[in-house]
Amino acid sequence: MSDIGRLALRVEGDLWVAYYALTDTMEHAVFLGSIRMQFVQDKARKAVFMMLMQEAVADIIEQKTGSRPDWRKPHRAPEHERGGNA
């Protein structure tokens, strides 16, 4: 199967930003949404934002492939994109 993409979360300034991106690159990534970092310091709020962004990516993937991704198998970002603080 060809690369169907992933959810990429990045800290950009005082925002936590979500993108739909291909597995090994952020080139041509699609902006999904963002939230101020102060609001996701609470673990429950962080989980809610992540679930919303996962559902957005799942919708995109389902439209492309006809099936939804399994979020129980996490995909790690490429080493060069890891910031360690999101």
**8 A C-beta contact, residue 62 and residue 50:** no
Structure pTM?
0.77
For CA atoms 80, 84, 85, 86, give the dihedral sign: positive
Residue 8, Cα to own-chain centre: how many angstroms? 3
Give the tens place of pLDDT for each residue, 43-64: 999 999 999 999 999 998 899 8
What average pLDDT does range 57-86 have in this prediction? 74
